Amino acid sequence: MMNLLKKIIYILTVCFLVSCNSNTSIQEYFVNAKDNDKLIGLDIDPGMFVSLKEGASQESVDVLASIGKVNIVAYRLTETDSISKAKVDFYTTERLKIKEVIKNNDLESLFKFNSKEKSVSLLYKESGSELIDEVIVFAYDDTMGFVLVRVTGDNIDPAKIIKVMNSKEFDVSEGKIKDLIKKVM
Amino acid sequence: MKTIYTLIVLIFAPFLVSSQSVFDEFENDDEVMSVVVTQKAFKLMSRFAPKGDKETMEYFEVIDQLNDLKVYVTKNTKTSDKMKLVAEKYISSKKLVQLMRMKEDKKNVMIYVKEGVNDDYVEELLMFIWNKGDGSQRQGIIVSLTGNIDLNKISALTSHMNIPGSEYLNNAKKNK
């Protein structure tokens, strides 16, 4: 009996290790990026900027609640006039790393633009019929740097977002957004 | 034995279904500027459809019927030659029908389609623009569009999306 239990634990551990090593999830990438001083990291709760007006419909409340968090990781190449080789090297490896992470995460591609030095990809994860759980935007420019944006949520309905945006039942605090941009730049 | 066959089929089925497009190689080519929009994106876009004027509604109706849009543009001599080869091979293997062919100076424009449910609709549209000129004139463009495509409306949409060669699409319909 003990032996069997040991075996099961052993197998489970191996499975766990294998599954951990095979791919870095996007979540893991963002967690690791936080510890990297070279990268700009930003976590935003949409509720910080958007507030519903009094008497807003339940639909608006639900839509805002369906959008969870926005995580951003960015790297800037143009801080000084000359871009050092070390910076370019870091940019190149990190960019490839992100590309690999995105590729291994079973995301559905929506839009892709590629050219010699610029690229924009838009991907998402569907939670059911045309509802969204995750949106990923990854853009880079060999002269400027890169930015990776991840929006996570719970059954985000694009049709409802449009409806709520048109309903004007919310306020956007521009001041807070400006403060945030200043902090990052 | 039967189980093994079933297993093999199950393992390989995904590869067969999601067979890579012949144009995918150009996506990773440094000399090529590419844009790829997937069916999922068109479906999502149509969900964003505003209830407004007739013209906008029509756009979104056209969008809803589209599967994939792929655009590849190059100015490189070697790559544009390769594009021509790949496009010609694709046209003959898929048995696409020529909708229009135009030649002006060193520029060739070819539009091929796979015919659909009726005269107005096609299942696939492939446009290939090849400029044999020297230096900066040199150019190769492939535009591939699949779905249920209304030839009467598609040129309005493609020019709205700034897709190269849209002006020829407009003429193609008139010539048909």
- Contact (CB, 8 A) for A57 and A135: no
Return phi, psi of residue A110, to 5°: -110, -45
Q: Is position A166 within any domain?
A: yes
Q: Which residue of A has its CA nearest to B39?
A: A110
ipTM above 0.85, yes or no: no
Indicate the residue of B30, B36, B47 with minimum beta-carbon distance to A159. Answer: B47
Two structure tokens written together for B37: 């929009």
Encode pLDDT of B87-139 as tens digits: 999 999 999 999 989 998 889 999 999 988 788 889 999 999 999 888 788 89
Banded pLDDT at A16 (limits 50, 70, 90): low
Chain A contacts to B (CB-CB under 8 A): 108-116, 122, 124, 126, 130, 158-159, 162, 166
Q: Name the residue range of residue A115's domain.
A: 23-184
* Average pLDDT score over chain A: 82
DSSP label of A45: -
Contacts of B75 in chain A (CB under 8 A): none
Q: Distance of CA B161 to CAs B35, B156, B167, B171, Å?
A: 11, 9, 12, 17
Number of domains in chain A: 1
Q: Is position A145 within any domain?
A: yes
- Contact (CB, 8 A) for B128 and B110: yes
Contacts of B31 in chain A (CB under 8 A): 116
Total CB pairs under 8 A between chain A and B: 50
Contacts of B50 in chain A (CB under 8 A): 162, 166
Q: How far apart are the first and last CA of chain B?
A: 55
Encode pLDDT of A126-181 as tens digits: 887 778 899 999 999 988 899 999 999 888 887 788 778 777 777 887 887 788 77
pLDDT of residue B74: 94
Q: Is position A8 within any domain?
A: no
Q: Where are the beta strands (DSSP E) in A28-86?
A: 40-44, 50-52, 67-76
Task: Return the percentage of chain A with pLDDT > 90, whole number.
Answer: 28
Q: Is position A17 within any domain?
A: no
- Residue B46 above 70 pLDDT? yes
pLDDT of residue B140: 93
Of A54-58, A125-129, B26-30, B157-161, where does the model show the most confidence? Answer: B26-30
Encode pLDDT of B52-72 as tens digits: 777 777 888 888 899 999 999
